């Protein structure tokens, strides 16, 4: 199985400093859904792992979160792709749970669901923040930083494919989800 675990906000859809709180605020990044469909068509299983503390903060409820994900599924299906599952952490950072990224809890749940072991199975993860990369690396995934969302400011500042110093060793850098899709499809046919 070729598995890619994706962050949501800033990776698949536009991120907001005040949280993505409604279906209308959930807007896909240009080319992201098409890249995901391309990965699906190349045999990749896609799963989303996302921090959603807006739930416990009262910014939106589970019905709204499900509606956002329904919109994602519908738009993705329209371009020939799909997300197999969405795992989310509803906790605030100060709750110190094991599922909120940078902790690897969501990733361990995903690996267990698919019967995979990142030590022996090749599992990739991608996101736009240090905590996304730390969570994937802690779970044993091959981690990919996308220069979208919160990392967009790093575009043009890093020498080609250089990883910021504070990121886990082995992190790979890509301009966006389309560039990652191209890399994965050609490197892991």
| Residues annotated as catalytic (active site), given as ranges | 7, 9
Rounded to an integer, what distance in angstroms lies between the CA atom of residue 10 and that of residue 43? 24
Rounded to an integer, what distance in angstroms lies between the CA atom of residue 14 and that of residue 75? 14
**Number of neighbouring beta carbons within 10 Å of residue 119:** 9
Rounded to an integer, what distance in angstroms lies between the CA atom of residue 109 and that of residue 113? 6
Nearest residue to 133 (alpha-carbon basis) of 176, 99, 104, 93: 104
Rounded to an integer, what distance in angstroms lies between the CA atom of residue 77 and that of residue 57? 31
Report phi then psi at 124, rounded to 5. Answer: -110, 155
Rounded to an integer, what distance in angstroms lies between the CA atom of residue 19 and that of residue 60? 10
Span between the terminal Cα atoms of the chain, in Å:
12
**What is the three-class DSSP state of 139?**
coil
């Amino acid at each position: 199985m070729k598995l890619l675990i994706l962050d949501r906000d800033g990776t698949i859809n536009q991120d907001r400093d005040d949280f993505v709180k409604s279906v209308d605020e959930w807007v896909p990044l240009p080319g992201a859904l098409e890249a995901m469909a391309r990965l699906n068509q190349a045999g990749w299983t896609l799963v989303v792992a996302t921090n959603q503390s807006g739930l416990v903060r009262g910014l939106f409820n589970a019905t709204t979160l499900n509606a956002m994900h329904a919109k994602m599924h519908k738009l993705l299906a329209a371009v020939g792709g799909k997300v197999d599952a969405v795992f989310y952490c509803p906790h605030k950072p100060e709750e110190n749970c094991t599922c909120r990224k940078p902790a690897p809890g969501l990733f361990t749940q995903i690996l267990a669901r698919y019967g995979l072991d990142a030590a022996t199975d090749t599992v990739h993860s991608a996101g736009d923040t240090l905590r996304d990369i730390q969570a994937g690396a802690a779970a044993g995934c091959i981690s990919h930083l996308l220069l979208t969302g919160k990392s967009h400011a790093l575009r043009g500042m890093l020498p080609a494919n250089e990883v910021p110093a504070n990121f886990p060793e082995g992190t790979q850098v890509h301009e966006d989800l389309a560039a990652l899709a191209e890399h994965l499809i050609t490197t892991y046919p």
